[in-house]
Structure 1
Amino acid sequence: MSRYDPRGRVNRALLVGVSEYDHTAPDPQGVNGQLPAVLRNRTALENALNRGHVFGTGEVRALASPTPDDFTGALHRACEEARGLLLLYFAGHAVTSTSGNELHLQMRTARVLTGNGLPGSVSFSEVLGELVESKAEQVVVILDCCYAGNAAGVWHRFDDPKRKKHKILLLMSVQPNRCILGGDADVATPFTRETVRVLDEGGEVWLSKLYDTVKQRMAAAKYKAEDNDPQRPQALAPPWDPDADVLLAAGPITSWPDPKPSWFRRVVIAARKAAQRLGRTALSVLLALVATGAGGYGVLVLTGDSGPCEPPLELRVLTDPDLEPAMRAAADAYLASAANTTDEGCRRSGITPYSAGAAHVVTALGERSDPWQQPRDDVNPQRDIGPQPDVWIPATRADVGRAEEAQVERVFARLEPDAEPFAYSPVVLAVPKDLGAGLPPTGRSLKELVSAFKQADPKAEVRRPDPEFSDAALLATAGLYGDGADVRGAEQLVDGAGRPESSAVRLLCTLPEDDAADGRSAVLVPEFLLRSGVGCHSVTRAERTAVYPDDVPGLEPTFVRVRWEGGDKDEQARDDEVDRFRDWLTGEDGRKVLGEHGFRSATGARGLLGGKADDHGLEPSVPPADPADATQLDRTLELYGNAHGPGRVLYLLDSSGSMAGLWDGPSGGPGILKQTLKGLGRGDEYGVWAVHGLNGRTHTELLDFGTHSRARAEQALKTGKGGAEVRDAEADPGAALLDALAFMRERGASDERPQLIVYLGDGEDDERLSGDRLREVEERARASGVPVVMVTLNSGGCDRDRPGTRVAEAAQGRCLDAGDDLVPALRDEVARIGTGEE
């Protein structure tokens, strides 16, 4: 392994903090207790990594008190997405097996049964199994839990025939067979607290430095594990070779003197006393003087949490995924501002920004405020979204109306929105500069702009984040759907197989992984992201030009105070700090930060709050579309859910005699179809027709149309007697396609579920798909709204004016032949319709 700098790569950090457990003592099956300090761990480490400039925006994900399925699912996604560095952090309860050979990480539902059963836990061996198969080049695991040191033994015993485990480095909070103390709610646990301090020191922080420094500081502070044992961090395996290390942070360099010298302490104490006598003006001067002489540390001592300062009140700010980077920057600026500093030089409040899917937040605040306070096994917003927010900043004020409309039963969260939004950003179609010629910057509907863009280049694609997570995507989808009369047709304008990215930030992060896809894809995103960009890559993205549809409302972030039933013990103090943050955010200082991130004024001509439009290829002023309508957004979500619910796929497999040489093996007709089944789930309906015969019935069923297990479907496609067989007959593809279009039209008449027809053949019978018959199939396909994928196993089947090409274009589908990367392409088309693995 060589010295590893992950900057510029696709990195992921998954921070798992289990602070809340469903089963705790005195329940005989419960874990030892709740871990409120772990909530501090998670937020502190998340903030440190985001400030460290190794992980970019959107690359650090925090997972609060997950179930085992939530954890393993998130871990699998991180392993699939990471290409550079993958960092996994776990804090929570953990236990070992009776023999001590296995470490079990206990998730929210953990219980301990008689006989050493451990439901609700995930073994560290299972975690290693995921990590070694990850696509990441380097993996760092940080464990802050009881028995963390036992992970090294699990690593050594892990069966690794492919010799992949050596890319995994471990940093552990305590030596083997030791428990650590759980801490309290006010501060992070010692190991994570010291880790965050080292990461925040600035400059380059390599894993070896982090380990050595944390170990020294914990020894000097004499931190204790349970039974009064010293708590000594461990690593696998120190010391590192100077040429074999991993960079974890590279923040701005600060000069941090040793806080112990008596002269410095005397200066700080004198400064505080002077500040108390002379007030804020003198304090500002003193801060500048102390910062000059002490490299900024004096500012932290005077304004931070150390010394006589009480722990500041913590405000929780929940926002939309696309807004989180800007809100985090605003929070960081506010925390260091004079507005958040007392006359004694202490912080008034801390702020924890976090985000969750917009539709899920609306549902939780509207229908589920009760289980947010009292979580249930089936409904737990604390787990799925995060802690109860003091402030909610949705991307559109219409979300407030949607949530309030849903508050029909007992309401435990009262929403108090500001009368007006504090910023604005239009939703734009961001088009690669090489493909954007001829598109007017404004004055047309989104559907017209998308259609014109795709017609200008047959390879052009349009990408959109998930409307269930991102309000920007939901607003764009409402524009695509219009009156909702042709949802299926609107969805066919949007490309991309499988589940879309959860936010515009994530979409802009992942597209550059494929230069070709990046260069041909227009994206539906908030305009401000084209200005501020996203920090998950340092690589060059395709340059894009903003096109402004006139029928899509823009983002209008709005400040909403959230009051919780029973949350009035510190209501006045919390109100004061919320008001102070609101005044700063909506005032000159906040507008400056928002301007740096590309936002516009919420009123008037919607001019940029900072910078010049010409410098960034943007329009100087943007006439806003009509405000978002809550009812329309709810309806759009319903239509989107229907259009992306369980799908229907009908396969037509040419089984005529000419297919004999293209039948067996994974590259034969049945084998190709079998490889696409992973895109289909148990809720999807699908069937397979064997196409053969010229008179009367032109096909027979290999697999009846309905829902199926994977095993049953694969058995139907097994070649040989009793399965998929080549017939001593010719085929009539035109007649079979007409039958298939009629069949699917009947099944899709009452809903908007996605549908697809796949025809796979060798092109030998194309003479029967010509002339009037071809025109008839084209007309029927064009009117059906059902996409058709025409697959030809020989070359040239998708040349211009070939029958397969014409049918696919008429049906807004796709034509594939032997010149394409056929199996992955067809699998992607099926995955867009189905709900399976892809």
Structure 2
Amino acid sequence: MIHQPRARRSRVLLIGVSEYERGTGYPSLPSVLANIQQLYDVLVDDAYGRFTPEVVRTVRSPDRETMVREAARAAGEAEDLLLCYFSGHGCLYTSEPAQGPGRLYLLPRAGGGPGAGTGAYGLGYAELRDLLCAGRAERIVLVLDCCYSGNALMEPLPEDRAFALLTSSRRFHGQSAGDGGGPTPFTAALLEVLRGGGDGQDERGPVTVEALAEPLRRRAERDAERARGEADSDPDDWHPELHTANEVGNTVLSQVVRLPRTSRARRLARTVRDRRDRLWARVRARPARAAGALGAAVLAGAGLLLLAGAAWQVLHPPPPDCPIPLELRVLTSPEHEQALTRVLAAFEDSARARAPLEGRPAGCRQLNAFVYAAPDGDTVAALEASAAWAEPERVCAGRAAGAGGEECAAPLRDVGPRPDVWLPGSSTAVRRVADAVAAAESAVYLGEETTVAKSPAVVLMPGDPGAEVRRSGEPLERLLTAAAEHEWPVLRAQPATSGAALLFGMAAGPGAIPAGSLPPRDDAALLCALARPAGAGSGADTPAPVLLVAERTAADLIREERRPACLGGAAGGHLAGASWDERYRAYYPGDVPQLDLTYVPVHWERAGADDAGRRTAIARLGEWLGSDEGRQALGREGFRDPDDERRALIDAPPLNHGAFVAEPGPAALPVPDAAAVADYLREEENRQPPRDVVFVVDVSSGSYSRAAQYEAVLRAAIGVLGPEDRFALLATPGGAGAPVRTLLGLGAHGADRAGEGIGALASVERFAAITPAVEEGLRLLEEGSAAGRGRLVVLLTDDQDSSGWPRVPAGGPVPLAVVSYGPDGCEHAYNRTVVALGGLCFDSSGAPGAALAGTLRVLTAPQEP
């Protein structure tokens, strides 16, 4: 099974050192520039790449410190695949025998000679390897195109990481630097394979790591054979080797679909071509011996081979080249994204997925399933605005946001591409959108929905609530009472965006479930909230929270290998002394409906030319999910059988764990209808207390190039606030050397006044005083906000001036949300600290305006200590 890296969670670092400082003794390498540029072009090209320009970083002729910094940065950002490529001079450092002979160093632009010491001499391969492995990436691929790169193979591969090392030269050997007009020979061959051209590509499907080895080896042998007759060439100019550890070989690097299995005619023709090339090399090397009978005999044999190959090709024409597979877009809830990615990988390998689609030749890969996620509430809103999703240019032309936040919906920005299949975690989301998609102005209609799996609602207890509390069948109220008796805080996501939180809330009734001041937007974010203490303080003795989630979501917490990356694969924060599976047990309330994973075909007006094939692929996925094969794949991810919710693959992971109950008992409760859901959400919103919000905007010259984006976020957020809410608007830096400028004081401002404040924002040619500005916002809330009001400081910034940490009020999570437009986003050190202390961060990888507006809708007053 191949692994398709997710672009947003992957990073590519291309390091090319083409210029070396005078005095180093190393010549420039102009071919390296072509290496970097052409690799970048291939990796981000829609026809080949698995990546987007935002995740591919090129570093040209860096110093050593920059190489280290960029490697560490890429390692810190990557969660799925981390691909690192180096091209430049490589040298061996052997002055310390204890280190072993021939340790490889990668030279930066200021690399010195052996007497300069390791610091100036370059970046050691082992150091680079360890930098890459220090991050969270699930898979790491390192490619070295430099002299002596084969010496890297003398170092051990990481034992605990999925790691691949591809080198370009033999151990203790140099290699050609290229002709300066194009890539080096090794990278030229690598590019050829990634583009899907040339020989050696005998299997179907995208180009994976392991698929690089054989075609690169053949190309190296071909080049060496051609060069053996040339006096000024080195037959060992380049020699690729690929070493892998821990099942990284199935990782896709290029999406290009390679040709079908080579026919006999093609193999014969290739044999003729290779023999011809070898013959001409020998003729050039020894013209006297080559003349005569030997040459004639060989050429005659070659002619017979050509004739045989031509005859076979006439009788057995090769199949046509494979087109790019159809991309089947599958939208689901965030907590199910990774699980369903694995389920649909099994679908891609099934007989149903391999059967020819309309107009596509047999024997070719027919489709790729692309799984992406958005909270259920966001998807509902996007489908309600389906016309803006289908044709944003036509629907939104000329529409500008008003001061109250009325702007054209942007589903492409807030959710992603138009889906072909929707798999919400609960059918309540489908009920909520039914009327909107049936309206005449809708650009979408939904096919027949089918329940493909179920997952009971569970109350995850961080300890034993007492023998009198049964594992299944207790009313939710009894379980919440037990949590209160043990002083365990209760966490759930926002009911407007999470199916599980919605069902729990409706079972308990409006206002019955205690809520933190900043509830997570979805259940995936809810699990990540465990990385920080719940409630006040930051000590390890803070009580672990009770979680209200679906059983399948709980399985991701219990299984170590499936825990979200935000938890580091292990217990963190206040649970550092005990593992999750030792602490948590699932209790099954008898009055909360089960969550039903629902398959919904999505059909769009003005469909493309591939609509017939797309509809067939959609139907096949639905059939497969309902088959035994599909249900087994779902069961391996922690879902239960839709026809008998008590039955699951309980004798296999993940539900065979003691944290779960094999047969929790019948829970055949009806799913709430759309009217009941709307009434509940309306009552919950009406119960929200008035809010005080302070917006702090970074207007330093570099940051305020984002003025249009900042304005859109501000208008969307202010548009959520009602007449009883108050807000302030601050800018940093202020005028006349002041760190902060107050544009609007804390008060209830109307739409016109809000528009004037936003219009007064202007760029200032100084560094932003982020810490003093945030402190001023927190001071305004502390001094001017009465008890019982929701409180939040919102910082909009590009992170360039974010450093240190402001003095924050004690006694609870810091009421701060960062909207980051910096390159590191929420991974910036300052923003990570905000999250660790209970604040929030939204970055440009998602929809920060929509996320912030959703948070303000549910902002509650902090609990008094």
Relative to the length of structure 1, the TM-score reads 0.48
Relative to the length of structure 2, the TM-score reads 0.46
